[in-house]
C-alpha cells in the first residue's frame, strides 16, 4: 500500500507524510535509506547542502510547555531546507525507542512561508507513526520516550517553503507480529452475500474481484469472507494485514500482495471506512470492505488512481493486532 492510501487523515498527515516523507501510520511502500540516530536524515559523509540544512534547523527556536503546544519561531521567512533533517532538542526519560515500534507523536506543524501554525495535535489528539520505515523519524531510534525534537523537510508539489514540525514522542510499543507461517486469513468460510462483489483467491491467497452491475451502496459494508478465531480487533490497535484495493467497477488500484510484504498501520489513523469496518472483526479474518466516498477519500479523490467520489472495494486479511 502506498503510504497515503488508507492512512493519513487531516492536514497534519498531509504536512508530515507528503512534505517530510515520514512513516506516520506506515502501510508499506516506503523507500530510501534509513538514517542513523543523528541530527540529520543523511547517511555517510554529509553533503554541503545537508550540513547547511542542519545549521538552518539549529536556528529554529522552540519554546516548550507541558500543557500547551510548542511555540516555533523561524529564524527567517520564508524558511526552507533542501533535505529532510531532524534534531533532538530535549532527551526523553522513558523506554528506549526501537526500530519497528509504533509510536505516538504530539506535534505542531508550521508553514515555512510565514511561520503560521498549520496543525496542532493539542486540539486533535496525538497521531501515530512507525519507526524503522526509512523516514526522517528513524533518526530518533535509540532515543527515549518523551524525547522532544524539531524537523523540517524540503518543499513539495511545486511549493517554495518547507514545513517545520516540533514534536514529542509520548508513547511507543512493539508492533504486532503474525504467528509463524501466517501469511493469509485462516478460519471458517462465510457464505457470500448477494449484491456484493465476488472475491476469488489464487493459490497464495491473493484476491481478485468480480464487480456487480448494481449501484454502489451509500453506507459502509464490512462483510467477513473468512471468520478468524483470534482476538477481537479494537480501534486503538496496530494491525498487520494483507490487502487489495479496487474501484467499484473492479479496476485494481494497489495491493500489498504485490510486494510480498504485509502492511502495518495504526487503525485509528486510517480512513474511516477502515477504522469502522475492521474494528470488531477478529484476527485471522478476511473482510470485504465496500467504502462509500464519505468514509474514504470524498470529493477530492486520491492521486490519479482514485477519482473523486469513488466507492472503494478492499479485501483485507487481518494477520495480527496489538
Distance, in Å, from the CA atom of 306 to the CA atom of 40, rounded to the nearest integer, reads: 35
The number of helices, as runs of H, and strands, as runs of E, in the chain is: 5, 17
- With a cut of 80, say whether residue 15 has pLDDT above it: no
Grade residue 157 by pLDDT with cuts at 50, 70 and 90: low
Whether omega for the bond prior to residue 60 falls within 30 degrees of 0, making it cis, is no
User: What is the CB-side half-sphere exposure of residue 93 using CA atoms within 13 A?
Assistant: 0
Distance, in Å, from the CA atom of 225 to the CA atom of 18, rounded to the nearest integer, reads: 34
Cell 471458517: give the residue: 188
Residue 303's closest CA among 57, 1, 85? 1
Residue 79's closest CA among 51, 65, 107, 58? 58
Residue 88's closest CA among 15, 137, 154, 156? 137
Mean pLDDT, rounded, for 235-239: 91
Query: Tens digits of per-residue pLDDT, 158-197?
Result: 667 789 999 999 999 888 999 999 999 999 999 989 999 9
The class that CATH gives domain 188-321 is alpha beta
Contact 122, 175 (CB under 8 A): no
The DSSP 8-state label assigned to residue 18 in this structure reads I
- With a cut of 70, say whether residue 240 has pLDDT above it: yes
pTM exceeds 0.75: no
- With a cut of 60, say whether residue 21 has pLDDT above it: no
For residue 206, count CB atoms less than 10 angstroms from its CB and return exposed for 0-12, middle for 13-18, buried for 19 or more. middle
Provide the pLDDT for residue 269: 79
Cell 514522542: give the residue: 169
User: ∠ CA 176-166-26 to the nearest 5 degrees?
Assistant: 25
Mean pLDDT, rounded, for 109-117: 93
Q: What is the mean pLDDT of the chain?
A: 85
Contact 244, 257 (CB under 8 A): yes
- Reading the block at residue 82, the C-alpha cell is 533542501
Q: How many of the other CB atoms lie within 10 Å of CB of 176?
A: 16
Higher-confidence residue of 141 and 236: namely: 141
Distance, in Å, from the CA atom of 183 to the CA atom of 320, rounded to the nearest integer, reads: 10
The class that CATH gives domain 10-174 is alpha beta
- With a cut of 60, say whether residue 118 has pLDDT above it: yes
Residues of the chain with CATH 3.10.50.40: 10-174, 188-321
The DSSP 8-state label assigned to residue 77 in this structure reads S
Distances, alpha carbon 34 to alpha carbons 31, 132, 164, 258, in Å: 9, 7, 20, 22
- With a cut of 80, say whether residue 28 has pLDDT above it: no
- Pick the range with the lowest mean pLDDT from 105-109, 154-158, 268-272: 154-158
- Reading the block at residue 193, the C-alpha cell is 452475500
Distance, in Å, from the CA atom of 300 to the CA atom of 172, rounded to the nearest integer, reads: 33
Query: Tens digits of per-residue pLDDT, 61-101?
Result: 999 988 889 999 999 999 999 989 999 999 999 999 999 88
- Reading the block at residue 286, the C-alpha cell is 478476511
Higher-confidence residue of 268 and 286: namely: 286
Percent of the chain's residues with pLDDT above 90 = 63
The DSSP 8-state label assigned to residue 37 in this structure reads S
List 165's β-bridge partners, or say none: 109, 151
| Nearby residues of 259 by Cβ (< 8 Å), 6 or more positions away | 28, 29
Residue 258's closest CA among 245, 271, 270, 275? 245
Provide the pLDDT for residue 158: 61
Mean pLDDT, rounded, for 289-318: 95
Contact 220, 290 (CB under 8 A): yes
Mean pLDDT, rounded, for 212-221: 96
Contact 117, 167 (CB under 8 A): no
| Nearby residues of 245 by Cβ (< 8 Å), 6 or more positions away | 1, 5, 6, 252, 253, 254, 255, 312, 313, 314
Amino acid at each position: 500500500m502506498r503510504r497515503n492510501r488508507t492512512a493519513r487523515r487531516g492536514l497534519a498527515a498531509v504536512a508530515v507524510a507528503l512534505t517530510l516523507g515520514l512513516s506516520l501510520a506506515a502501510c508499506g511502500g516506503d523507500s530510501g535509506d534509513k538514517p542513523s540516530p543523528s541530527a540529520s536524515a543523511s547517511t555517510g559523509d554529509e553533503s554541503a547542502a545537508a550540513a547547511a540544512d542542519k545549521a538552518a534547523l539549529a536556528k529554529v527556536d522552540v519554546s516548550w510547555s507541558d500543557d500547551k503546544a510548542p511555540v516555533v519561531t523561524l529564524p527567517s521567512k520564508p524558511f526552507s531546507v533542501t533535505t529532510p533533517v531532524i534534531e533532538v532538542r530535549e532527551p526523553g526519560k522513558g523506554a528506549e525507542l526501537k526500530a519497528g515500534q509504533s509510536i505516538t507523536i504530539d506535534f505542531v506543524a508550521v508553514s515555512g512561508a510565514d511561520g503560521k501554525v498549520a496543525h496542532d495535535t493539542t486540539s486533535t489528539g496525538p497521531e501515530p507513526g512507525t519507526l524503522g520505515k526509512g523516514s526522517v523519524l528513524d533518526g530518533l531510534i535509540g532515543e527515549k520516550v518523551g524525547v522532544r525534537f524539531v524537523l523540517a523537510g524540503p518543499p513539495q508539489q511545486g511549493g517554495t517553503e518547507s514545513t517545520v514540525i516540533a514534536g514529542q514522542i509520548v508513547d511507543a510499543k512493539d508492533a504486532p507480529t503474525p504467528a509463524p507461517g501466517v501469511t493469509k486469513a485462516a478460519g471458517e468460510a462465510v457464505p457470500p452475500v448477494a449484491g456484493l462483489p465476488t472475491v476469488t483467491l489464487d493459490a497464495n491467497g491473493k484476491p481478485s474481484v468480480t464487480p456487480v452491475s448494481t449501484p454502489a451502496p451509500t453506507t459502509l459494508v464490512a462483510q467477513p469472507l473468512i471468520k478468524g478465531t483470534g482476538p477481537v480487533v479494537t480501534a486503538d490497535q496496530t494491525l498487520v494485514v494483507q490487502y487489495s484495493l479496487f474501484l467499484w467497477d473492479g479496476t485494481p488500484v494497489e495491493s500489498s500482495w504485490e510486494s510480498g510484504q504485509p502492511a502495518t498501520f495504526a487503525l485509528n489513523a486510517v480512513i474511516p471506512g477502515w477504522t469502522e469496518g475492521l474494528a470488531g472483526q477478529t484476527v485471522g479474518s478476511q473482510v470485504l470492505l465496500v467504502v462509500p466516498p464519505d468514509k474514504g477519500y470524498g470529493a477530492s479523490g486520491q492521486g490519479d488512481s482514485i477519482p473523486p467520489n469513488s466507492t472503494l472495494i478492499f479485501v483485507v486479511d487481518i494477520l495480527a493486532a496489538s
